[in-house]
């Protein structure tokens, strides 16, 4: 007994379509999470404000170590040379590599 190739193809199409429909809501969640992670941290964010975050470290009045910036903080995970990158204490929001806040910890 031989199978009709068009029926096999139709079954495969239905399986793929069903899987795609089932996965669609999760794709939206993943895209939303990615967008949240790429959001820039605002100086007016309540936590950022409490920690004295400034996008320009030279404008942070509580900064004592003049070499300290987000780019050399252990909580910063931006790529070398990038203008900004994620900060772990702000849930991965982007901070300026030349920024600073009072939670700064020297990168080892």
- Interface with ligand SF4 includes 104 (CB under 6 A)? yes
CA dihedral 10, 14, 16, 21 (to 10 degrees): 160
- The answer to whether residue 99 forms part of the interface with ligand SF4 (CB under 6 A) is yes
Please say whether the beta carbons of 78 and 92 come within 8 A.
no
CB of residue 75 to ligand SF4, shortest distance in Å = 4
Closest contact distance (angstroms) between CB of 5 and ligand SF4 is 59
Please state, in angstroms and rounded to a whole number, the distance separating the CA atoms of residues 53 and 72.
15
C-alpha distances (whole Å) from 32 to each of 26, 42, 102 are 10, 19, 29
Q: Which of residues 54-93 bind ligand SF4 (CB under 6 A)?
A: 70, 73, 75-76, 87, 89
Number of residues that bind ligand SF4 (CB under 6 A): 13
Scanning 2-10, 12-20, 30-38, 98-106 for contacts with ligand SF4 by CB under 6 A, the matching segment is 98-106
């Amino acid at each position: 007994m031989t199978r009709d190739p068009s029926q096999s193809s139709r079954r495969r199409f239905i399986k793929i379509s069903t899987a795609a429909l089932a996965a669609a809501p999760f794709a939206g969640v993943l895209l939303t999470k990615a967008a949240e992670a790429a959001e820039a941290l605002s100086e007016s964010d309540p936590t950022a404000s409490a920690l004295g975050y400034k996008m320009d470290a030279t404008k942070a009045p509580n900064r004592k170590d003049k070499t300290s910036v987000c780019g050399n903080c252990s909580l910063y995970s931006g790529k070398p040379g990038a203008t900004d990158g994620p900060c772990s204490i702000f849930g991965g929001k982007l901070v300026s590599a030349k920024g600073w806040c009072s939670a700064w910890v020297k990168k080892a």
